[in-house]
Amino acid sequence: APVTGETITHKKPMLSLNKVYSQDDLFAWIASVSRNDDEKFLIQPKYDGISCHFKNGVYATRGDGNVGQNITNACRELCKFETACDKADFYGEIVIRKSVFDTVYKNIKNGTGKNFKNSRNAVAGILGTDDISFYSKQGATLTLIDYDKNSYAILKKDFDKKWDIFKSVITSLDFPIDGIVIKLADTEYSESLGFTSHHPKGQIAFKFDNQT
């Protein structure tokens, strides 16, 4: 059985995303990659957790993008799945629902006997421990959410009038979110734009400026 803590080399690198912090910069990027006004984009939450690749029953963190950690044991014991469909291979984020962190995690202590400061710290702390039962006995749960689970299609020509609506929908979800991911819906075209060593050129992250 896979052992938590083993390193796993990703066959396809898990790259970061280029980031923008203003609506003007976002709209400029949209214009730069659109072939016409009917270019379709997907808008998805940028979850504030730990990135994960699930394949053939094995869970691995993003790590440095090329090499991650095997976290299978921890995920099998604590993770709930939220996927767009039944997939044997998908990319997602391990998070703690906001409502769960605000209630259940009030009673969960870390290894030093204190509460976790925020849900991202809790995810990192739990996945980094050798003693998963320490947290499972306290009732800790995690959620692995498929990036495609909450995904909304929008055309370039509709961004002006619909952006604020989608932003409102995404920020109201019961997940810790620190931004919004915008990606070209046409994956073949998106991949044809290529990649830098850091990020794919067909996707971008709009970061909220109120995040600490």
Catalytic residues: 46
- 155 CB burial (10 A radius; 0-12, 13-18, 19+): middle
Cβ atoms of 120 and 99 closer than 8 Å:
no
Task: Name, in order, each residue with C-beta under 8 angstroms of 71's C-beta and a sequence gap of 6 or more.
Answer: 4, 52, 59, 60, 61, 94, 127
Neighbours of 128 (CB within 10 A): 15
Cβ atoms of 191 and 3 closer than 8 Å:
no
Beta bridge partners of 45: 180
The percent of the chain in helix, strand and coil, each rounded to the nearest 5, is 30, 30, 40
Q: In degrees to the nearest 10, what's the CA dihedral of 116, 73, 62, 207? A: -40
Q: Is 39 left (phi over 0), alpha (psi -120 to 50) or beta?
A: beta
Closest CA to 142 of 74, 51, 210: 74
Phi, psi of 96 (to 5 degrees): -120, 125
